[in-house]
Structure 1
C-alpha cells in the first residue's frame, strides 16, 4: 500500500470524527496524499487542533454533532457548497471507552437507549451521510467510501481480556461494527461502478489501558503488540486513492494478526 504523495491531489476527503486520535491521523494521511480534507467533529477545539496538524492546503473544519439531525444536514450542506466530495471516511463512532450511561457496562446493565444511540452514530450516520453525499461521490467517477469497522465487527469479544479492569465491551459496539461491514458490502454492489466502498477493521489501539489488559491482548496477537494510530495511515490512503481502483466491498483487518487465529 504505497499511496504516494500525489495520489489524492485535487480530491476532497470528508472525515467524520476527524478530531479524535484516530481521526486526526486519518486526516493527516489523506492530506499528505494531496487531498483537501474536511474535518468533521462535534468538538470545535479538536477540529481546530486537527486542522493545525495538517500540511498546507485548503482544508476545512466543520463542527457538528452528527446525532443531531439538523447538524447532520448542515454538514451535508457545507460539503455541497464546496462542490466536491471524492472520499468519505465514516470514522465517527462510540467506542468501548465512550462514557455513555448503560453502554460499556456488564451486559445485564446495558440499556436499550444506549444500544440505540450507538447504532445511530456508528451505523445510521454512515448510511445517511453516504446516501446524501452520493451525487458528489458519483460526479467524480472515482468516488471512494471508507468505513471504519473493528475486529469486533468480525469476531466476538474475548471477555477474559477485561477481567479485573474497569474496561468493558458493549454489545452495541460489536453489533454496529458488524453492521458497518455488511453495509460496506451492500454499498459496494449498489453504488458500483462509479463509487467504491471498502472498510478497514482496526485491532486494539494502545491508549494507556491497564497493564493486565495490554499483556493479555499482546499475548493473543501474532505481532505481539497493540496498534498505534499510525498503523492505519497506509490503509486509508490506499483505499481512498486509485491505487485500489479494483478493490471494493472488502473489509481489511489491520490487527497485527488478531483475527488470523
Structure 2
C-alpha cells in the first residue's frame, strides 16, 4: 500500500499556474511548491512575477519560472506555450486560475443588466473560458506524455447558482452576467475534457465560494448569514483542495467539481 506522503508528493513534477500573482493563485502555487513541484508562474505583464518566483524558489527549494502573459490575447497564449515547452518540454499539471473580474470603473461591467456591454462580455469570456480552452489544447500533448497529467480549472459558485441580489443592496459591488456564464462554461468544459482526455489526463475543477477581500461589512454579514459554516473563505481554505486534486491522492478522480464554499450550495 502506498503511504500518504508518497501520494502527496509532487517532487519531479512541473506545474503551470495562471493568475499566480493573485491571492488564490499565490496560495495554490506555494502549496504545490511545498509539495515539491517545480513551478511556472503566469500573470499579467504589470505584475512582479520574478520577485515572487525568486522568493518561492528560495523558500521551497524548487525551480520556479515566471512568465508574463495577457491571456486575453491569443497570440500571447501561443507564445507562452512555446516558451514553456521549449524550455524543458514537459508539463504535468495545468491550473487555469486566472480570471477576468473587472472593476467598478470598467464600462459595461459593474452596471445593471441593460447596460452591460457585449464588448465586456466578450473580454470576460475570452479570459475566463476561451483562454482555459486554448491552454488546455496547447498543453495536451505534454500532459498526455506526462503519465500523471492533470488539469485543475478554477470555477465559481456563480457558475452553478444565480446571485442573491439582496446581498449587494447598498454596495457598489456587482455580479455581471459574463462572470457567471463564463464560470458555468468552465464547469461543463471540465466535464467534457475529462471524458475526452481520459485515461491519460485527469481534469477537475474547484468551485470557490466568496473570499474575504475587503468587501463592505454589510455584504460580509449577509454572506456569512447565508453560509452554513458562518464565514467567508480565506485563501488558505483552498490549499487542501489543490493539494488533493493535483496529486496522486486523487489518482482515480476526474470530471469532478470540488466545491469549497462553506456549504453555500446545500440550502
**1:13 alignment partner, one of 15, 19, 29:** 15
1:118 maps to 124
CA contact (8 A) 1:16 1:39 kept: yes
| Structure-2 separation of matches of 1:228 and 1:96 | 21
Instruction: Give the RMSD, CA atoms, in angstroms.
Output: 1.6
Q: 1:99 deviation in Å?
A: 5.1
Written as runs of structure 1 = structure 2, the 5 A alignment for 1:53-92 is 53-54=55-56, 55-81=60-86, 82-92=88-98
CA contact (8 A) 1:97 1:167 kept: no
**Length-normalised TM-score, structure 2:** 0.93
Asked if 1:205 corresponds to 2:207, the answer is: no
Q: 1:109 deviation in Å?
A: 1.2
| Structure-1 separation of matches of 2:11 and 2:104 | 35
| Structure-2 separation of matches of 1:106 and 1:80 | 43
Written as runs of structure 1 = structure 2, the 5 A alignment for 1:177-216 is 177-216=183-222
- Which sits farther off after the overlay, 165-174 or 95-104? 95-104
Moved over 4 A (4+): 2-6, 96-99
- Aligned CA distance change for structure 1 residues 49 and 3 (closer, same or farther; 3 Å): farther
CA contact (8 A) 2:54 2:64 kept: no
| Structure-1 separation of matches of 2:251 and 2:90 | 19
Written as runs of structure 1 = structure 2, the 5 A alignment for 1:122-133 is 122-133=128-139
- Which sits farther off after the overlay, 233-242 or 202-211? 233-242
**2:36 alignment partner, one of 34, 37, 44:** 34
Q: Which runs of 5+ in 1 are unaligned?
A: none
CA contact (8 A) 1:28 1:53 kept: no
Count of residues in Structure 1 that have an aligned counterpart in Structure 2: 260
**Length-normalised TM-score, structure 1:** 0.95
| Structure-1 separation of matches of 2:48 and 2:235 | 16
Q: Which runs of 5+ in 2 are unaligned?
A: none
| Structure-2 separation of matches of 1:227 and 1:43 | 28
Q: 1:48 deviation in Å?
A: 2.7
CA contact (8 A) 2:15 2:94 kept: yes
| Structure-2 separation of matches of 1:94 and 1:3 | 36
Q: 1:159 deviation in Å?
A: 1.0
Q: 1:79 deviation in Å?
A: 1.4
